[in-house]
Amino acid sequence: MGELLSAEAIDALLAWYRNHQRDLPWRHTKDPYAIWLSEIMLQQTRVEAVKPYYARFLERCPTVESLACLDEERLMKLWEGLGYYSRARNLQKAARTVSAQYGGRMPRSYEELRKLSGIGDYTAGAIASIAFGVRVPAVDGNVLRVLSRVSGSREDIALPATKEAMRRALLPLIPEAAGDFNQALIEIGATVCVPNGEAKCDACPLASECVAVREGLTDEIPVKSAKKPRKILPLTLLIIRDGDRTVLRKRPPKGLLAGLYELPNTEGHLGEEAALAHVRALGFEPLRIERLEDAKHIFTHIEWQMIAYAIRVTPEFDGYPEGSGLLLVPNGELHSKYAIPSAFFAYTKYL
């Protein structure tokens, strides 16, 4: 790959960023912990969705030490609705490492940051450059799109090798204002060189040397190979209540939505009779059953296609089967104490 950006383009990019950057909460701090938190929350999540979570998280958990000590249920509650919960678990694991190995102060180098749980190449680059001014690249999917268009590259941006080549090409170009430079590229990707819809090339400081603009290729670049299709999982959800209490289940400690609370569910789409039999097998005596609306939830690799029943049961029951993870929660505590992931939000109005 030849030189990605000229010195003039880099100056134009920095000048553009100083005048056009969005006013975002994490741009008002130099606290490496806060910048780290913002970068983790911003992975696969929209800026507008992150803002309230970021503020609340920092309020409740303002330091590495406070995060290292936070109890798991509170941590999950703070992350509830943001998705990709392993981000929160990795964040806490890394906070414990920072606390134990670095006296609670974030390491400054890309290499040390890279070793922490949940911090990959992009995030290590973002934290090192934004919080500490280290001249390293931070190449995420958005930056890859921008630079592929600028350079006219038709390399497949879904391949790790493409990202690595871009990082290498950027490294010698990073200016002193490394954090601004990286955020400027992120900002161009978010507001100008957008992923869906037409790129706003008239507003782009890089347009004068952009190969995709010159050759009319913004629709063709970046090239991104298709991911394999998501697995479809049909599920039947059961909202089991005895009047004052609702049955929740704690998910297993590993895998999708690990350790979070869910409505009891089972694979497949059950008819009413099968759903009632299932509820009896859990130890309850059903009184009424009502079919609710269908819903779906899309995860990265899987799609849940849900049907649901609300089932009223008698207050007496024989106790849960061993290791079932079930618990009968007073209705008043459902929302305040238990982290229920957004996958179930179509049904939380019934809780």
List active site positions.
Answer: 39
Nearest CA to 300 out of 91, 39, 87, 120 is that of 87
Minimum separation from the CB atom of position 44 to ligand ADE (A): 10
48 versus 71: smaller Cβ distance to ligand ADE: 48
- Candidates 24, 217, 276, 327; binder of ligand ADE (CB under 6 A) is 24
Q: Which of residues 236-255 bind ligand ADE (CB under 6 A)?
A: none
What is the smallest separation between the CB atom of 68 and ligand ADE, expressed in angstroms? 23
CB of 180 to ligand ADE, least distance (A): 11
> Smaller CB distance to ligand ADE: residue 187 or 242?
187
**Distance of alpha carbon 224 from alpha carbon 227, whole angstroms:** 9
Tally of CA atoms within 13 A in the half-sphere of 283 that contains its CB: 14
Compute the distance between CA of residue 27 and CA of residue 20 in angstroms, rounded to an integer: 13
Cβ proximity to ligand ADE: between 177 and 327 the closer is 177
Stretch touching ligand ADE by CB under 6 A, among 39-47, 87-95, 100-108, 318-326: 39-47
Residue 47 interacting with ligand ADE (CB under 6 A): yes
Separation of alpha carbons 131 and 179, rounded Å: 7
C-beta closer to ligand ADE: residue 39 or 155: 39
166-205 footprint of ligand ADE as x/- string (CB under 6 A)? -----------------x--x---x---------------
Using CB under 6 A, count the residues that bind ligand ADE: 8
- The reply on whether position 49 binds ligand ADE by CB under 6 A is no
**Residue sitting closest to ligand ADE (CB):** 42
Question: Cβ 130 to ligand ADE, closest distance in Å?
Answer: 6
Q: CB of residue 46 vs ligand ADE: minimum separation in angstroms?
A: 9
47 vs 289, which CB is nearer to ligand ADE? 47
- Least Cα distance to 90 among 144, 37, 23 occurs for 37
Shortest reach from residue 77's CB to ligand ADE, in Å: 24
Asked if 129 is part of the footprint of ligand ADE (rule: CB under 6 A), the reply reads no
Q: Measured from the CB atom, is 99 or 182 closer to ligand ADE?
A: 182
Kindly state whether residue 212 participates in binding ligand ADE, applying the rule CB under 6 A.
Answer: no
Residue 39 interacts with ligand ADE (CB under 6 A): yes or no:
yes
Q: Which of 12, 13, 37, 42 binds ligand ADE (CB under 6 A)?
A: 42
**Closest to 5 in 3D by CA, of 119, 140, 152:** 152
Decide whether 47 or 346 has the Cβ nearer to ligand ADE: 47
Residues in touch with ligand ADE (CB under 6 A): 24, 39, 42, 47, 126, 183, 186, 190
